[in-house]
């Protein structure tokens, strides 16, 4: 059983007109870095809950919960969440969900973390917690967005890079405008043409790499097919080890 409980809004940061972070306080069960929860609200004068899944950005050891959300045009829940105020309540699931966690990732030399948009959240949680990281010689965190002003977690990414003192490398990718500090284009194209690997100085291959894909379903699917067909990398399953772990963000 996984009941709904109340979460109190501590703060809401509105980064852009469509991107915001909710900071919540709630007596949830312990969760693993990389997992997600569900939030819900009731429409005005209605009993039925509107619910959606969202990943934790905060480390499990941080009891102030942080959720990074895209405000969807005409989206029922995201607009209600965007308009919450400090002190308001929202429903949250007591127990977390998901297997996009490090203990499900096999040992490898280089762990690649690819994210689009708000899917940077699970990686922020994993890297802030810092558990089970020593198994990997290199970790590469790549965050792809459309515009520069959507890189709202870049300061945190830079702090994490300093924290890991050479083990972690970060790279931002922008698809719709040029930025001297970011690569330009879409993730599948940049992998296919080895632009990312040349920039980072490491190779993505089936011998020493594991790739985590999280974000837009089309990116996840395209990147998986590319790595499968051109790099001989396979989906990782508990019953059969592979090189790719995936999670879609709708």
CATH number at residue 107: 3.40.50.80
Mark whether 137 and 26 lie in a shared domain: no
Mark whether 212 and 122 lie in a shared domain: yes
Burial 1-39 (b: 16+ CB within 10 A, else e): eeeeeebebeebeeeeeebbbbbbebebeebbbbbbbbb
Mark whether 144 and 72 lie in a shared domain: no
**Residues 9, 81: Cα–Cα separation, whole Å:** 10
Mark whether 152 and 64 lie in a shared domain: no
pLDDT in tens, the chain (250 residues): 999 999 999 999 999 999 999 999 999 999 999 999 999 999 777 778 999 999 999 999 999 999 999 999 899 999 999 999 999 999 999 999 999 999 999 999 999 999 999 999 999 999 999 999 999 999 999 999 999 999 999 999 999 999 999 999 999 999 999 999 999 999 999 999 999 999 999 999 999 999 999 999 999 999 999 999 999 999 999 889 999 999 986 5
The number of distinct structural domains making up the chain is 2
DSSP 8-state assignment for residue 121: H
DSSP 8-state assignment for residue 47: -
Mark whether 55 and 130 lie in a shared domain: no
Residue range(s) defining the domain that contains residue 70: 4-93
Mark whether 120 and 243 lie in a shared domain: yes
Mark whether 175 and 61 lie in a shared domain: no
Prediction pTM value: 0.96
Mark whether 221 and 177 lie in a shared domain: yes
**Residues 185, 197: Cα–Cα separation, whole Å:** 14
Mark whether 71 and 135 lie in a shared domain: no
Burial 68-84 (b: 16+ CB within 10 A, else e): bbbbeeebebbebbbeb
Given 63, 93, 123, the domain boundary residue is: 93
């Amino acid at each position: 059983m996984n009941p709904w409980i109340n979460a109190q809004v501590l703060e809401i940061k509105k980064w852009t007109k469509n991107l915001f972070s909710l900071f919540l306080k709630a007596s949830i069960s312990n969760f693993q870095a990389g997992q997600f929860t569900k939030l819900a609200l009731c429409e005005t004068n209605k009993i039925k809950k509107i619910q959606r899944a969202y990943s934790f950005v905060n480390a499990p050891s941080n009891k102030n919960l942080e959720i990074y959300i895209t405000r969807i045009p005409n989206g029922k829940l995201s607009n209600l969440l965007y308009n919450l105020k400090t002190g308001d309540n929202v429903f949250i699931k007591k127990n977390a969900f998901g297997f996009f966690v490090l203990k499900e990732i096999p040992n490898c030399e280089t762990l690649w973390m690819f994210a689009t948009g708000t899917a940077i959240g699970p990686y922020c949680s994993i890297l802030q917690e810092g558990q089970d990281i020593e198994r990997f010689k290199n970790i590469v965190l790549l965050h792809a967005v459309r515009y520069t002003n959507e890189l709202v977690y870049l300061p945190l990414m830079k702090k994490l890079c300093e924290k890991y003192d050479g083990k972690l490398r970060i790279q931002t990718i922008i698809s719709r405008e040029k930025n001297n500090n970011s690569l330009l284009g879409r993730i599948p194209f940049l992998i296919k043409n080895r632009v990312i690997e040349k920039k980072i100085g490491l190779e993505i291959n089936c011998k020493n790499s594991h790739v985590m894909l999280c974000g837009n379903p089309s990116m996840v699917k395209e990147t998986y097919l590319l790595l499968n067909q051109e790099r001989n990398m396979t989906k990782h399953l508990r019953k059969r080890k592979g090189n790719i772990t995936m999670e879609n963000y709708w």
